[in-house]
A and B are shown apart, each in its own frame.
Chain A
Amino acid sequence: MSTTLATRPANGTDCAPVLRERGQREVFCGLTGIVWLHRKMQDAFFLVVGSRTCAHLLQSAAGVMIFAEPRFATAIIEERDLAGMADCNEELDRVVDRLLARRPEIKTLFLVGSCPSEVIKLDLAKASQRLAAKHAPDVRILNYSGSGIETTFTEGEDACLASLVPEMPASDAADPKELLIVGSLPDIVEDQFLRTFEELGIDRVGCLPARRADDLPAVGPNTRYLLAQPFLGDTAQALEDRGAVRLDALFPFGAEGTTSWLKAAADEFGVDEMHFNSVVAPGRERAKRALAHHKERLEGRRIFFMPDSQLEVPLARFLATELGMNPIEVGTPYLHKTHLEQELALLPAETRISEGQDVDKQLDRVREAQPNLTVCGLGLANPLEAEGLSTKWAIELVFSPIHGFDQAGDLAELFARPLRRRDVLRV
């Protein structure tokens, strides 16, 4: 509904304006992150305190009901809970008691705030304190908000990880330097990175989130952290409040992004240049070989990103610099300029960056631009395909392993496949 232009604060060489829009947003809320977070932290349970809509969202976003009893659920607020707050808290305690009695293997319980719980000002911080006192030391009880009035899609993970930071044990400035990888990655990718750091000679490496939520790494002034995901603004702030220092790099997508990301750590930890090159070269070469398969199909193609996961800017950089694609517009729900500074500088100058969304206006721009590929949410993909435009579901980029050298080819494949499909179909 409202559109404003502001200066794009890249590194000074590029001052193309950022298009800021407000209006209908076609994005998930932060609750959706539970779908992958509960798979990542195998001893944690996520209890959304919300409405039937929240439960329905999780069920629809999870797509299929595959788990007998997944490690998430919704405490659905009902009419009588709205009548009095005291009752509401009592009800919540009852639900949590019942849940923990049934699932004794749960070590960390996240109470997740939603739009309704925020609006009725149900204080989940207080509730988690109250419940923690009751269930300690068996269960740690934390809270964060995944509400749509405050968080967009991946910001739910940011809020969740930020809630873990105060729980991390403290390390000391005098302790040896430690590396922390921040952002949930599929286990296979995390293991690849851990192997590479080991080969580089960086042996004190932690991950946030840890696979077991009660297995948190320490943090302190000796911590150097690398963001594995571009949507972790609050988590980064919380880490810095505890003295940790961010290593600035490209995000680890593609051969170049991954090299830059590893290099930032190598430099900080004093890894010899020759050694770095010898460790990184094989993976980097493999990535380049894998990308070469897709370059022919993608080079020169025009791509339009609708805002979704905040992965848009680094992915557009990867597609532009390593595959020769031409990003027309890169939409993101929120533009974290500091974390993306290096990324933004590498985007072609004519690329339009947009922040926020007015979906109908943005769709008008898609139709006008007629891109070869539009990256968008599931609600928009089929309607655009029906108009003759090729699309890539953005959510697949969040659910698939795409980071690192050995996934670079898979990442390119995700963009190439819709175009290849269009070429092979004769119906």
Chain B
Amino acid sequence: MLEIKNLRVAIEGKEILKGINLTVNKGEIHAIMGPNGSGKSTLAQVLAGRDEYEILEGEILFEGKNLIEMAPEVRAREGVFLAFQYPIEIPGVSNTNLLKNALNEIRKYRGLEPLDAMEFLTLVKSKMPIVEMRQELLSRSVNEAFSGGEKKKNEIFQMAVLEPKLAILDETDSGLDIDALRVVANGVNSIKTNDNAFIVVTHYQRLLDYIIPDFVHVLQNGKIIKSGTKELALELEEKGYDWLKEIEEELATK
């Protein structure tokens, strides 16, 4: 589904990603872990098409198509979804309004008829239990005066409605208490099918107790220095990120 080949990315002349290679197949959950400043969020933003970043080298193929060439809204319509680390407030625009327009844009792109108000409402209602979404949040302005937990839940709720093929969760666990974390994780697990895929970007292992990854990649200093299964996350938790420096040095001397 997704193939990243030797991706090098800079912002304001500073190289952040220094040659990333990653393949994600449908039905898989990949966790990307790493310390602050390792380039995790940059990778998430670049996949979604943020234009502040300069692609120095490399390729990103999504279902065989060149993702780098696509505008962010085209990527979204192709089925790439980013759950933001810091969801943005849009005053005066209701959650429902945003979602209805977004969904119908995506449907139009795929040659489907737009949903009318009733069909849309039925769909939305059916998705609300996934993250225990309160009705009241639907009519409120997007993320405005939402608590930290509500914002993150709202991201997952949007994901549930828009049904992306590839969902990228950018530190969705940050700032969540354990109950909210469980709700969000349960939401992700119920959205997960054999046809979609997830990239879960996180600093901590604890999210991975609830969302079980098929693969864990450790990002350090702009490179994936180690990949493994879910046990790698536990090992990392145990040994701490300092352990990575040793690995990095080891790799450098090879």
Partners in one complex: no
Spell out B's residues near A (CB within 8 Å): none
